Each structure stands twice: as C-alpha cells, then as structure tokens.
Amino acid sequence: MDTTFISTRLITADVAALVRFYEQVVSAEATWANEDFAEVRTAHATLAIGSTRTVPLFGEGSAEAGANRSAILEFMVGDVDQEWARLRDSLALVVTEPTTMPWGNRALLFRDPDGNLVNLFTPMTPEARTKFGLDD
C-alpha cells in the first residue's frame, strides 16, 4: 500500500473553542469522536483536533499545545478577499491582510486561538491556477 497523507492534528487545551474556530474558518461542521477529539474535513484534507489529555497516549510530553511556530495550515478558497470580509471581525490576530504573493497566490494569514499560523489563499496568476488544477 502506498503512503497516504491523511490529516494534520493540532493538540489544544480547549478542543471545543478550537473546533468552533475552524468550523467558522472552513464553513464546515466537525465530526466529534468524543470530548477529546474532533475532525474538521474539507474536500482534500482533514484537520484533527485533540485534547492535551490525549498526549500521554502518544508519549508523555510528545506534543505541547500552543507551541507551534514552524508550520502553516493552508486552505485554498475561492475568493480570499470575500473570506477576509466574512472573517475579519472574528480574527483576534491577523498577520497579513490579503496580499498577492510573488508566487501568484493572494493570501490572508492569521493565527488561530492557540497561536497556530493559518493561510487562506486564492491562486491568481495563470501559473498558480494551473498548479492547483484550476485551468480556466
């Protein structure tokens, strides 16, 4: 069997709050396994959200809530400016308002309630659109 990337999991001290945040960002309802674990699914990826209470199952101290400063969770959207208008009043920490990047994506970067960096982007140039299979 080939290796298949399935999801990214965030560990948090407040699963309910982080799930509510991502449900709003992606406009989708989470699937809850129990109070310590939920998944927010999109067409191409799953964001799993687990409680700090689950960390010992993987190894004591193996993950730390709110400590990530190296990964960016990226969501491709149809119109980043429209998403900015929808979300702007609910985002506590905006890193970059919608900006067209040199590689052809228009991007909005902000932090989730635990400080994780989130990028909503829309491919704008023909090259960027082709990369994501969005040929007109």
Q: pLDDT by residue (tens digit) across 65-82?
A: 999 889 999 999 999 999
Give the confidence band of 1 by pLDDT, cuts at 50, 70, 90: confident
* Cα→Cα distances 107→35, 83, 84, 100, Å: 33, 10, 10, 6
Q: pLDDT by residue (tens digit) across 87-133?
A: 999 999 999 999 999 999 999 999 999 999 999 999 999 999 999 99
Whether residue 45 is predicted with pLDDT greater than 80 in this model: the reply is yes
Give the confidence band of 4 by pLDDT, cuts at 50, 70, 90: confident
Q: Which residues of 19-32 are buried (b: 16+ CB within 10 A; e: fewer)?
A: bebbeebbeeebee
CATH ID of 1-57, from 3.30.1330.60, 2.60.120.40, 3.20.20.70, 3.10.180.10: 3.10.180.10
Q: pLDDT by residue (tens digit) across 22-44?
A: 999 999 999 999 999 999 999 99
β-partners of residue 49 are 10, 38
Whether residue 136 is predicted with pLDDT greater than 80 in this model: the reply is no
Q: Tokens 């290796």 sit at which residue? A: 3
| Topology of the domain covering 69-136 | 2,3-Dihydroxybiphenyl 1,2-Dioxygenase; domain 1 (3.10.180)
Task: Assess whether the region 1-57 and the region 69-136 belong to the same CATH fold.
Answer: yes
pLDDT given at position 82: 98
Instruction: Enter the tokens of residue 15.
Output: 């699963």
Q: State how far the Cα of 12 lies from the Cα of 120, in Å rounded to an integer.
A: 21
pLDDT given at position 135: 78
Q: State how far the Cα of 7 lies from the Cα of 48, in Å rounded to an integer.
A: 7
Sketch the domain layout of the chain as residue ranges: 1-57, 69-136
Length of the chain: 136
